[in-house]
């Protein structure tokens, strides 16, 4: 029987034939005996426990699952990476909802930076060329200056919103990175607020 172990030494599966190819870091050990279900291997020997591993970071020592120092560090590092990924997704979701990006098609959102640049130029010089805003106004059948004024208000509001949320996100990321334990990490609540209206 061939026992397959993952890159951390945890049992993944067993096969009756020698595995032809294994994923990177995986290895196998051959044994004529049925050596159990809750297994760990250092690459040379196979150790077993009476219960499943509490986490992928634990190793078997004298038949018991223990969390070594390097395992605890890896566990915390991976938990931090996952929390930062969740933080980034939550920040983006908050911006999407607050700016109602989910109500606008992607191609139109991609014009926002152009509209913003044109609206800013128009605010400084009313004769500045604004071809995109002019075309949108013409296609909508509305006054171009009213559209430009609205685009400027939306630009300023969006910039304030994104700067506010970016600051909150960065502060939370700093807290996540500074956490020394899993318990500290779990206490960090991911939430965002919109800036106060002026």
**pLDDT tens-digit map of 99-138:** 999 899 999 999 999 999 999 999 999 999 999 999 999 9
pLDDT of residue 116: 97
What's the pTM value of the predicted model, to 2 decimals?
0.76
Q: How confident is the model at residue 20 (pLDDT cuts 50, 70, 90)?
A: confident
Mean pLDDT lowest for which of 47-56, 76-85, 136-145? 47-56
Q: What pairs with residue 64 in β-bridges?
A: 61
Q: Which residues contact 58 (CB under 8 A, 6 or more apart)?
A: 40, 65, 66, 67, 71
Whole-angstrom Cα distance, residue 96 to residue 141? 28
d(CA 182, CA 67): 13
* Position 143 confidence tier, pLDDT thresholds 50, 70, 90: very high
Q: How confident is the model at residue 198 (pLDDT cuts 50, 70, 90)?
A: low
């Amino acid at each position: 029987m061939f026992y397959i172990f993952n890159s951390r030494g945890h049992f993944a599966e067993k096969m009756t034939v020698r595995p032809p190819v294994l994923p990177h870091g995986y290895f196998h050990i051959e044994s004529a005996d049925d050596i159990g279900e809750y297994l760990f291997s250092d690459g040379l020997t196979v150790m077993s426990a009476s219960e499943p591993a509490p986490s992928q970071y634990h190793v078997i020592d004298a038949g018991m699952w223990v969390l070594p120092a390097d395992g605890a560090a890896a566990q915390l590092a991976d938990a931090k990476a996952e929390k930062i990924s969740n933080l980034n997704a939550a920040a983006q979701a908050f911006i999407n909802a607050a700016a109602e990006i989910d109500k606008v098609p992607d191609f139109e959102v991609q014009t926002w930076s152009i509209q913003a640049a044109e609206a800013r130029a128009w605010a400084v010089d009313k004769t500045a060329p604004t071809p995109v805003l002019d075309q949108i106004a013409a296609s909508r059948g509305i006054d171009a200056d009213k559209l430009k004024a609205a685009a400027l208000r939306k630009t300023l509001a969006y910039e304030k919103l994104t700067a506010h949320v970016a600051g909150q996100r960065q502060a939370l990321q700093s807290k996540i990175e500074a956490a020394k334990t899993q318990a500290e990490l779990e206490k960090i609540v991911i939430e965002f607020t919109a800036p106060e209206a002026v």
